[in-house]
Structure 1
Amino acid sequence: MVFKLCIFNALSGFTERNNWVLFSCVNKCIIVIMNYQGSSRHLFRNAKSALLASIEIYNKPSFLYREETFVILLLNSWELLLKAIISKNRGSIYYRKKRNEPYRTMSMTDAFTKAEKFFPKKIPTLPLRANLSLLSTYRDNAVHFYNEKNFGILIYSLAQTNIINFKDLLLEIFGKNLAHDISWQLIPLGIEPPIDPVKYISQGSKNTTAKGSAVRQFMNTLVASLEEVEKAGDDTARLMTIFNVSVQSVKKIEKADFVAGVDGVRGATGGPLIITKIQDPNITHPWRQKNIVQKIGSLNGEKFTPYTFQAICFKFKLKEDPRYCWRSNEGDLTRYSNEIILKIKSLKKQEVAGSLESYRSRSNS
């Protein structure tokens, strides 16, 4: 750990308090030592608490300052999480001390730059950074969006993705599942039907006046960020995902993308069911096999070929998973999502070799 010693004497014990370590001395003096790394345990705990508080506020039935307060707490939780990651890896969360000035901890942007090298490979940093940047823009300029009807739906869509990214980082780096702290038995009921985010975006330029120029600028930034993420070959679902939630009987699942169904079967003891259906493969699954092969290029130092692709799909049953593969009802068209690229790139050399062996054995049998 990195410390700054302020007073020194013979020691008899110590107590850790947030970012300071207090050593008690034999002659009753106190030694105060600055811990430049911070306490990853305290930072992690506070990050999780801030996130849960943001969700609780957003879900309040009546709260006039909902989006603004929600985003402030959400971004604060990210700043704490990033600093917890830095602290866990024995890095300093402080800027270099300037003479006659107080200690300053890093901003969220600088903490992200320092922490991203510790992210797992399966979680791309570019869309996460873009998502946080857009939410920060809203937080810093909220006054410009007050009178823009339904603009909150964009913040909702960005924040939903943001929380999923937070959950995944928490699980991968700290081994903690955020789902254990949240009750999912919530009923999403409303007086008016929800606004379609895609419809809002497509009609935004028509409905906004000169006063709504901030909205147009925000949406232009969103589109530019999506294009940048796509160009880099990363998963745009890490930047923004549109969730369509409705409460229906399980007999009517075909009308929703994500349906919180209620099992009406007598004697059923299960909770709400989440049923997934992909609607538009042109958006969710834009790639053919040749595109996947071109985008991956090489894998673990070896040229990536259509044969390798088929072997991996066979071994890990990727074509049976709707997250990765979509097939037309006629069966003559197969398309793949961005997620299948991330999945394949995450495979180790021995996993690829095992896939090729299994595929050869299948062909020979």
Structure 2
Amino acid sequence: MQFMKVDKNATMVAEVQEFIDELRHLMDDVEAAGSDMARVATVYDINMQSVKKMTSADLVVAVSPTADGQVVVRKTDPNQTHPYSATALLAKVNEKRTGRKITTYDHQAICWKESLREDTKYAWKHSNGASHVWSGDAVSHLASLTDRQYDELRAAYREHLRTQA
């Protein structure tokens, strides 16, 4: 547990320091009693990045000087945040937009051009799943595009497919 050290130059909340000290103490006691901590503790590298929209966040964190040491974790259920199959997505998009009907080809074109399948705001795929599921944000985004934008996407995608053949 020595990797958890305090950077004296950084501002650190006292509760975090207390937690680290208590965790170190508990780990030392268990190891002193002869137990193998490698079976209990695992080291993780965590990379956190600030995002502008809370709806895009996987974890919401706040620091409050008046909190009583509470930790609140917001879990998201992809079945709630991304409820639409590709078929249901297109049906919802076509209900909301004016102009021609959006097809699976249009969907493939925009996914290719804007990398929508890689953006968790729009798409989610279980590691064991074969297809993506889509969010309400995906419905709004796809419904907001004009026929002209879809025509341009289709042309660019068609050219991309030709160069791949």
* Distance across 1 between alignment mates of 2:64 and 2:150: 43
1:187 corresponds to:
63
Match of 1:290 among 69, 72, 87: 87
Cα offset, 1:344, TM superposition? 0.9
1:230 corresponds to:
none
* Distance across 2 between alignment mates of 1:188 and 1:342: 34
TM-score by length of 1: 0.25
1:314 and 1:355 in contact (8 A); partners too: no
* Distance across 2 between alignment mates of 1:355 and 1:300: 18
Match of 2:78 among 281, 287, 291: 281
- What residue ranges of structure 1 are gaps of 5+ in the alignment? 1-163, 165-185, 197-243, 245-256, 258-278
Cα offset, 1:304, TM superposition? 1.6
2:46 corresponds to:
none
* Distance across 2 between alignment mates of 1:283 and 1:292: 14
Residues 1:359 and 1:317: Cα distance change in structure 2 (over 3 Å): same
Cα offset, 1:362, TM superposition? 2.0
Moved over 6 A (4+): none
SS at 1:297 equivalent: helix
2:100 and 2:147 in contact (8 A); partners too: no
**Percent of residue pairs bearing the same amino acid type:** 27
SS at 2:133 equivalent: strand
* Distance across 2 between alignment mates of 1:289 and 1:331: 14
Structure 1 residues 6-54: Cα deviation after superposition (integer angstroms, max 9, x where no partner): xxxxxxxxxxxxxxxxxxxxxxxxxxxxxxxxxxxxxxxxxxxxxxxxx
TM-score by length of 2: 0.53
* Distance across 1 between alignment mates of 2:126 and 2:64: 32
Cα offset, 1:195, TM superposition? 6.4
* Distance across 2 between alignment mates of 1:285 and 1:297: 18
Q: Which amino acid aligns with 1:193?
A: Q
| Count of matched residue pairs | 101
Query: What does 1:271-350 align with in structure 2 at a 5 Å threshold?
Result: 279-297=76-94, 299-350=97-148
Q: Does structure 1 residue 352 correspond to structure 2 residue 156?
A: no
Q: Which amino acid aligns with 1:317?
A: S
Query: What does 1:107-256 align with in structure 2 at a 5 Å threshold?
Result: 187-188=63-64, 190-193=67-70, 244=74
Cα offset, 1:188, TM superposition? 3.0
Please provide the CA RMSD for this pair. 2.4
Structure number with the bigger relative contact order (C-alpha 8 A, sep ≥ 6) is 2
Cα offset, 1:191, TM superposition? 1.3
2:86 and 2:133 in contact (8 A); partners too: yes
